[in-house]
Amino acid sequence: MNLHHSFYQLTPDTILNAIESLGYETTGRYFVLNSVENRVYDIETLKAGRIVVKFYRPGKWSQKQILEEHAFLQELAGEEIPVLAPIAIEGKTLFEWEGIYFAIWPLRNGRIVEEIQSNDLERVGALLGRIHSVGKRSQIKSRPSLDIPSYGLTALQYILDKKFITNSALAERYEKNARSAFAIFESLTNEYQIPSQRIHGDCHKGNLLISPDGFSILDFDDFLHGPIVQDFWMLLPFGEADRKHEFFDFFAGYCMFADYDENWLKLIEPLRIIRFIHYAAWIGKRWEDPSFPSLFPHFGTEEYWLKETLDLENANRDLDDANPSPTSPKENTEPEMTNKDFFWDWDN
């Protein structure tokens, strides 16, 4: 059986049969929820009300890795931290239907946060601090680490090996900037002895829910071992100098439960660059999924890779300015790339 094909072709009957195999009685009503990586549905049942089922993308996580995510969520929930832990049935939280892993979750009503208001920053900081304080207690066993060898280089090598960037000059420029950011990441990590621990890993505002009960953080699918700063920069606009005053309130809440060193924030820019590269590789690895070409229509075009390369160059320039060489000032001897360099018929 081609599990990926089955995953792409999940039908209402498959979804409801999987739920009913666990003893639920469904009404037949369900709603598709917004998720690109997995397949997630809001299901109406007769006795349990509405529940959420998540079918995990085959091949991304092993059974052991998914169960480690579930265990972390249960650990957080045990501390009364507002996260969504999976529902256990007869002591199990992970199930299988037609070779695809799935889990059941309670439905939490609320709305996604478009913008964190100034008077909410302390509460959000405290919530993340509580999560990180629990994350620090023990080490990852099977989940990945956000480090250069397994997270950065693996993504870069995939892009290069698959020859997504067909223009060789552009590929060289892309690789050079990626490796430069990787080197700065490792240098800063060593210089400031920046620790890693269990973190959310994908802590952007889209995973922050607000309800009458307060804030909760959702979707620990990318839960991993990494520097806590990864969860900071995805949640707040640290690159916007005019908003720095807001971070005082955030860290006032955070430091009630967890510690941080201001020097660790120097990792934000290299982490952002690593994210660019990892995200591009993530799209490439899922290109056979029928939904991806329509979601990312420009992926793989020369214009796409030109923009990615220019973004890396600009980010690296900011990174070099923030972390100047201790021996000599950096000189940029290479002209900036433009569309004209890569499109023979560019007239604008």
Best CA proximity match to 131, nearest among 180, 88, 76, 177: 76
In the set 219, 221, 231, 249, the catalytic residue is 219
In the set 120, 202, 221, 249, the catalytic residue is 202
**Angstrom distance (rounded) from CA 95 to CA 93:** 7
Tell me 265's DSSP state: G
Please give the C-alpha separations between residue 272 and each of 66, 239, 311, 322, in angstroms, as whole numbers: 26, 10, 11, 14
219 is catalytic: yes
Residue 113 neighbours by CB under 8 Å, 6+ apart: 205, 208, 209, 210, 215
| Residue 75 near residue 30 (C-beta atoms within 8 A) | no
**Angstrom distance (rounded) from CA 76 to CA 74:** 5
Three-class DSSP category at 138:
coil
Instruction: Give the bridge partners for 50, in sequence order.
Output: 44
Ligand-binding site membership of 289 (annotated): no
Place of tokens 């520097």: 227
Phi, psi values for residue 185, rounded to 5°:
-55, -50
Ligand-binding site membership of 219 (annotated): yes
Best CA proximity match to 183, nearest among 158, 153, 144: 153
Catalytic residues: 202, 219
Binding site for Mg(2+): residue ranges? 207, 219
